[in-house]
Amino acid sequence: DADVTQTPRNRITKTGKRIMLECSQTKGHDRMYWYRQDPGLGLRLIYYSFDVKDINKGEISDGYSVSRQAQAKFSLSLESAIPNQTALYFCATSPPAGGQGRAGELFFGEGSRLTVL
Amino acid sequence: GDSVTQMEGPVTLSEEACLTINCTYTATGYPSLFWYVQYPGEGLQLLLKATKADDKGSNKGFEATYRKETTSFHLEKGSVQVSDSAVYFCALSWARGGADGLTFGKGTHLIIQP
């Protein structure tokens, strides 16, 4: 079984619908992230959480919200989906930062492909 | 802000050719540098990393050296295989206000032909 599991893997929805993407992990990491991947734009950070009570906006948080239900679960919601939110979404986890507060390795799920018509 | 610039793709090579994928960065302080690889239909996985200047990261025949003077972290491999076909992302670590994370480049699609 994968250490970082995303559901659903694929979803097609219509403009205006509410969508939730779920992420669960068995790595025991406190840090969890949501990224979106678009062709030619690479990965962009949407939200991140360093523990259950800590939620932070990334560079493209508008139109998204998150919930950290437990250490192992981090959900991404689109309250009213729009076509330009069509993308591949990745959840990732990481252990605490190493020396000098620098980020270490990220562990990614296999992605959730969302299409908004 | 911190940023990563890597060469545009796709890069198409024949099997056993030499590979270089350029990566340069802009950052405050001394970030750690990473190369991630994404095989078709999969998530990203760490390929190699370097945490300080002049460090060399290596894995699966790939190498990259942290060059502070040129703010670069170019990915190299002496002889590529068809199985190396994937998208490669250069990334750097950032830290500010008690938080930290990774910033990624836009990715380079590598295609290796038999």
> How far is Cα A73 from Cα A53, in angstroms, rounded to an integer?
12
Are B100 and A102 an interchain contact pair (Cβ–Cβ within 8 Å)? yes
Give per-residue pLDDT as tens, B14-35.
999 999 999 999 998 788 999 9
Are A56 and B42 an interchain contact pair (Cβ–Cβ within 8 Å)? no
- Neighbouring CB atoms inside 10 A of A47's CB total 21
Are B99 and A48 an interchain contact pair (Cβ–Cβ within 8 Å)? yes
A42: nearest CB among B30, B93, B106:
B106
Model confidence at B102: pLDDT above 60: yes
Structure tokens at B3: 């940023």
Q: Quickly tell me which residue has 């295609």 as its tokens.
A: B111
Model confidence at A7: pLDDT above 80: yes
Give A108 to chain B, closest Cα distance, Å: 6
Judged by CB atoms within 8 Å, which residues 14-73 of B form the interface with A? 30-32, 34, 36, 41-46, 49, 51
Give per-residue pLDDT as tens, B60-71.
999 999 999 999
Q: How confident is the model at residue B45 (pLDDT cuts 50, 70, 90)?
A: very high
Q: Quickly tell me which residue has 């994370």 as its tokens.
A: B101
* Residues whose CB falls within 8 Å of the CB of residue B82, separated by 6 or more in sequence, listed in order: B15, B112, B113, B114
Structure tokens at A41: 């734009």
pLDDT score for B92: 92
pLDDT score for A105: 83
Are B107 and A110 an interchain contact pair (Cβ–Cβ within 8 Å)? no
Are B44 and A100 an interchain contact pair (Cβ–Cβ within 8 Å)? no
> How far is Cα A68 from Cα B86, in angstroms, rounded to an integer?
32
Give B46 to chain A, closest Cα distance, Å: 7
Closest Cα in chain A to B97 = A101
Contact (CB, 8 A) for B91 and B103: yes
Q: Quickly tell me which residue has 């590529």 as its tokens.
A: B80
- Neighbouring CB atoms inside 10 A of A49's CB total 20
Are B95 and A102 an interchain contact pair (Cβ–Cβ within 8 Å)? yes
Question: Which residue numbers of A have CB closer than 8 Å to B's CBs?
Answer: 4, 33, 35, 40-43, 45, 48, 50, 56, 58, 90, 92, 97-98, 100-106, 108-111
Give per-residue pLDDT as tens, A75-111.
999 999 999 999 999 999 988 766 555 567 889 999 9
Average pLDDT over residues B35-55: 93
Q: How confident is the model at residue A40 (pLDDT cuts 50, 70, 90)?
A: confident
